[in-house]
A and B are shown apart, each in its own frame.
Chain A
Amino acid sequence: MSKTYEYVPEPALVKGNHDFKDITAMVTDINMRPTPTAWYIAFGISNILLLLLLVSIAYLFWEGTGIWGLNQPVGWGWAIINFVWWVGIGHAGTLISAILFLFRQGWRTAINRFAEAMTIFAVMCAGIFPAIHVGRIWVIYWVFPIPNSMAMWPNFNSPLLWDVFAVSTYFTVSFLFWYVGLIPDLATLRDRIKSKFGKLIYGTFALGWRGSNRHWWNYEKSYMLLAGLATPLVLSVHTIVSFDFAVSLIPGWHTTIFPPYFVAGAVFSGFAMVLTLMIIVRKIYKLEDIMTVDHIEKMNIIILVTGSMVGFAYAMEFFIAWYGGVEYEKAIFIIRATGPYAWAYWIMITCNVLSPQFFWSKKLRRHVGFTFFISIVVNIGMWFERFVIAVTSLSTDFLPSSWGYYSPTFWDVVTYIGTFGLFFTFFLLFLRFLPMVAVAELKGVMPQADPHNYDNDGNYVPPVVEIPEPTRKSV
């Protein structure tokens, strides 16, 4: 009888023949080698962009929000678009670190450190926009429940205030999660680095970690609880971001589909950003054995799934606009697809709905160069999604006499470009000074870490997967 099925083994998480020592060396040697010249060049460029951000913020404070292209009826422009875009990118990091952890996906260990770092820096970039867009920056503390001379408190009924709590909690929890994961690896660097100063710094932040199994016991519990807390948190953050829109009465915003649709879009764009960064980094730092093509494939599948979810949400919005029977709602969706911003709408559809469909092909989702290209396309598409949502609904609101066309100004663009400076400045510092792969966690998922994979003489015996032969009954 011929075999009617084929056994597909789970691919090894670490490629090549590496033991624990190799893994430690592969990752932490990057931090101990002298700084490469290319790093200085990249860091210099990032610093120039960061300077652009600082200049544009300074000019904004000096001159006021009039330097941006905002006007009536479009009172929310690039600032809110960039905010939602950056915070959405951040979500992939938490998804990888928390949700995939709860689902026991061993492959997350190769990329979680990296993706969490991306989350933190992306949320920093995001947080800038709501803070600076208020116009009267000197009273920004009004968003926090701090006693003030007016004896007034923030309005807890406002989604904009919920946002303050959501984003600041998100940043804090992501940072703590990241730091807890870093502790054992900082200890590795403390034990390996030669310089006295390095020992002092890494040693201080490693908090005296010494790999005690009594400590690991609490540590693993803590990590699991943090993952369990971060999972609802990450879903709540983009839900609340979507409330900024959905709780208002503007046509095209006032829909219940917004929370799940925003979360799917956030994960979609975040995974694309992780891929963009990862494909460059694994090449430069020669980490192809850790961040393998299998990882890229798995992430591409998530991009395909979330991209299709986003596409479904676009279709559903149209359907509900028609089915709901509200004239303004119907009109806004027709205007989106055919009106003055149709070009943005169709860029969005092409980048977000069509481009991920290539990943149905196994060959394409394992193709590194093609994945890199699509990851950039997706991020452009997701930026345009936020543009379409924010701008089209506002520019053509209830009263046709107030309709207007919104265009960004020079300073809108420069501020946005500047946030890349902030992002990459921090990201390059991270690559240079912190282990970019979670070394301890990665060792933990290697087959060598399992006590069952050793014989009685203490030699490593790779696990043998038993492939069941088809029997007459089961086939």
Chain B
Amino acid sequence: MKKETSDNKLYGILAEFRNPKELIEAAKLINDNGYRNYDTFSPFPIHGMDKAMSLKKSKLGWIVAVHGLAGLTGAFAMIYYMSVYDYPLNISGKTLMNIPAWIPVVFELTILLSAFGAVFGMFFLNGLPKLNHPLFNSENFKKVTDDGFFVCIETEDPQFDDEKVQKLLEGAGATNIERIFDE
């Protein structure tokens, strides 16, 4: 653990809990106490955590919808431009606007763009990639991808108060409380 010096700004206070149930209860408590800049960490998504942390519905659906629509109209426009406008070719007497035959390509490109939206939109909403983070300074935090359950209340929070937060976390049954510094 890093020493506290004038260069090192406190990032937040990290507390460890023993199991999903305690984590979810701690999250409820922190949320009910009016904290907003905090986060919980677990090796897998925990059922009911969204309610405990009162998380808003993910905006990802809208991102995907916009991407899907772009794929749909883009593919249609591309085929129209290529086979009707730019170089019309009479292929065995079929009509140029042979829309039923365009469905497969239009469909595939809709799916492709939607999938890009779902993946890269998720990265965007989560602020990933972010290879460096103050929490990675904690040796104990490595457990989060194995069997560790953590809460971190950040100094950013308007009502952050060092002692109060420590007390709250202790009261919630944290097994290990650690101060995390920016480097």
Binding site for B on A (CB under 8 A): 19-21, 24, 145, 151-157, 159, 161-162, 165-166, 169, 172-173, 176-177, 179-180, 184, 187-188, 190-192, 203-204, 207-222, 225-226, 229-230, 232-233, 236, 240, 243, 439-441, 443-444, 448-454, 458, 460
Stretch from B1-9, B47-55, B163-171 at the A interface: B47-55
Partner of A240, one of B22, B27, B60, B104: B104
Main secondary structure of the interface of B (DSSP, over half): helix
A207 touches B131 (CB 8 A): yes
B111 touches A173 (CB 8 A): yes
**Which A residues are CB-close (under 8 A) to B125?**
218
Q: A208-B131, A209-B128 are in contact. Are A220 and B45 (CB under 8 A)?
A: yes
**Of listed A219, A221, A226, A449, residue having the most chain B CB within 10 A:** A221
Considering the chains assembled together, what is the distance between the CA atoms of A440 and B41 in angstroms?
A: 13
Between A and B, 18 residue pairs with Cβ closer than 8 Å are A145-B78, A176-B119, A188-B146, A208-B131, A210-B133, A213-B27, A213-B46, A218-B58, A220-B45, A222-B60, A222-B119, A233-B108, A243-B104, A451-B48, A453-B21, A454-B19, A458-B18, A458-B173
B106 to chain A minimum Cβ distance, whole angstroms, is 9
A217 to chain B minimum Cβ distance, whole angstroms, is 5
**Which A residues are CB-close (under 8 A) to B86?**
151, 153
Considering the chains assembled together, what is the distance between the CA atoms of A176 and B23 in angstroms?
A: 31
A102 to chain B minimum Cβ distance, whole angstroms, is 14
How would residues 34 to 70 of chain B score, 1 for a CB under 8 Å from any chain A CB and 0 otherwise? 0000011111111111100101001011001000000
**Which A residues are CB-close (under 8 A) to B111?**
169, 173, 229, 232-233, 236
**Which A residues are CB-close (under 8 A) to B143?**
191
A153 touches B83 (CB 8 A): yes
**Which B residues are CB-close (under 8 A) to A20?**
43, 146-147
**Which A residues are CB-close (under 8 A) to B108?**
162, 165-166, 169, 233, 236
Considering the chains assembled together, what is the distance between the CA atoms of A439 and B35 in angstroms?
A: 32
**Which B residues are CB-close (under 8 A) to A211?**
41-43, 144-145, 150
Considering the chains assembled together, what is the distance between the CA atoms of A156 and B101 in angstroms?
A: 7
B83 touches A221 (CB 8 A): no
> Nearest A residue to B117 by beta-carbon distance?
A225
Given contacts A166-B104, A207-B130, 20 further A-B contacts (CB under 8 A): A154-B82, A159-B104, A169-B108, A173-B111, A184-B43, A187-B145, A208-B128, A208-B131, A208-B136, A211-B41, A213-B53, A214-B39, A215-B126, A225-B64, A226-B118, A229-B114, A443-B44, A449-B47, A450-B20, A458-B18
Q: A208-B129, A458-B22 are in contact. Are A217 and B82 (CB under 8 A)?
A: no
B146 touches A191 (CB 8 A): yes
**Which B residues are CB-close (under 8 A) to A222?**
60, 118-119, 121-122
Partner of A217, one of B55, B128, B129: B55
**Of listed B46, B98, B118, residue having the most chain A CB within 10 A:** B118
Partner of B112, one of A169, A210, A212, A444: A169
B21 to chain A minimum Cβ distance, whole angstroms, is 4
From 110 to 161 in chain B, residues with beta carbon under 8 angstroms from any chain A beta carbon are 111-112, 114-116, 118-119, 121-123, 125-126, 128-133, 135-136, 141-147, 150
Considering the chains assembled together, what is the distance between the CA atoms of A188 and B55 in angstroms?
A: 25
A166 to chain B minimum Cβ distance, whole angstroms, is 5
A24 touches B144 (CB 8 A): no
Binding site for A on B (CB under 8 A): 18-24, 27, 39-50, 53, 55, 58, 60-61, 64, 78-79, 82-83, 86-87, 89, 91, 94, 98, 101-102, 104-105, 107-109, 111-112, 114-116, 118-119, 121-123, 125-126, 128-133, 135-136, 141-147, 150, 173
Partner of A219, one of B55, B126, B135: B126
B24 touches A451 (CB 8 A): yes
Considering the chains assembled together, what is the distance between the CA atoms of A220 and B45 in angstroms?
A: 8
Considering the chains assembled together, what is the distance between the CA atoms of A208 and B44 in angstroms?
A: 15
A236 touches B21 (CB 8 A): no
A128 to chain B minimum Cβ distance, whole angstroms, is 20
A290 to chain B minimum Cβ distance, whole angstroms, is 15
B41 touches A210 (CB 8 A): yes
Partner of A152, one of B79, B87, B107: B87
Considering the chains assembled together, what is the distance between the CA atoms of A179 and B122 in angstroms?
A: 13
Considering the chains assembled together, what is the distance between the CA atoms of A439 and B44 in angstroms?
A: 9
A208 touches B133 (CB 8 A): yes
B87 touches A153 (CB 8 A): yes
Considering the chains assembled together, what is the distance between the CA atoms of A218 and B119 in angstroms?
A: 10
Considering the chains assembled together, what is the distance between the CA atoms of A179 and B118 in angstroms?
A: 12
**Which B residues are CB-close (under 8 A) to A450?**
20, 47
Considering the chains assembled together, what is the distance between the CA atoms of A197 and B171 in angstroms?
A: 41
**Of listed A24, A166, A222, residue having the most chain B CB within 10 A:** A222
A233 to chain B minimum Cβ distance, whole angstroms, is 5
Q: A20-B43, A204-B131, A213-B39 are in contact. Are A218 and B147 (CB under 8 A)?
A: no
Considering the chains assembled together, what is the distance between the CA atoms of A203 and B129 in angstroms?
A: 10
> Nearest A residue to B112 by beta-carbon distance?
A169
Q: A156-B82, A222-B119, A449-B46 are in contact. Are A173 and B112 (CB under 8 A)?
A: yes
B146 touches A460 (CB 8 A): no
A451 touches B46 (CB 8 A): yes
**Which B residues are CB-close (under 8 A) to A233?**
108, 111
Q: A153-B86, A156-B83 are in contact. Are A225 and B60 (CB under 8 A)?
A: yes
> Nearest B residue to A162 by beta-carbon distance?
B104
A169 touches B109 (CB 8 A): yes
